[in-house]
Structure 1
Amino acid sequence: MRVKMSSIHVIDPALAFDFYTTTLGFEPLMVMPDYNLFIVQAPNIPDGPGLLLEPSDHPAAQAYRSALYDEGMPAIVFGVDDVAAEMERLSALGVRFTGPPATDAMGTQAVFDDGCGNYIQLHQD
């Protein structure tokens, strides 16, 4: 068994698709704008899981996304080889981080705002 697809609730799936592909570097997996359906996946992993950019228009989804955001909790964690280098790259593209990277027994982490209603954590082992 493996993860085939996961989702993240976003305020605007089309806007999120642009950010996740153009800024973060994910690749389009399925794009159906007429259905507000946008799925991306990590580059160079053709059989990897998809990430559905889920519309947050259902009251339960909106409450969940908003609660996480209001608490400053990341909605999802993305693994990277070098948190500092990724922070530098993304900061140059205008991405806003909540603070400097932190290192503990679990690795190095940094959190940024995706501009689509979520905080995202970068993690390096």
Structure 2
Amino acid sequence: MSDEHQSDLAARLRSRRVTLWTLIVPPSVWAVHFMFCYLWVAVSCAKLGEFARFPVAFVVGTIVALAIIIASGAVAFVQSRTPGDPPPHDESTEIDRTRFLATATLLLAGLSVVGVLFTAAPALLLTDCR
């Protein structure tokens, strides 16, 4: 990507409105992935009696979850770098609220990536339903 396109994309991302809905995307994706993992393991153990050799649906679900969380974190990273007043933030301005929510979203995205990886690890490493 050229520098012009990157700056245009960053400017559009900075101008997007950050709400509490953007804050809950990463942990919500993590929760859905967690439920998907446990349902997948329960169904595969009940139907097959063992894990599949290479669980394609499981790997695809994990990759999709990670992609959504990383995209959310990337948007939050750009928005947290929005220029504004230097600290201390004594006044509640729109830019300060945007940076706060974006930073919180970025931190939750990082935690959610770790959570998805830790949720996926047992299903990828274990081969027995006992």
Structure with greater contact order relative to length (CA < 8 Å, sep ≥ 6): 2
Q: TM-score, normalised by structure 1?
A: 0.23
Larger Rg: 2
Q: Relative to total residues, which structure has the larger strand share, 1 or 2?
A: 1
Provide the TM-score with structure 2 as the length reference: 0.22
Query: As a proportion of its length, which structure holds more helix?
Result: 2
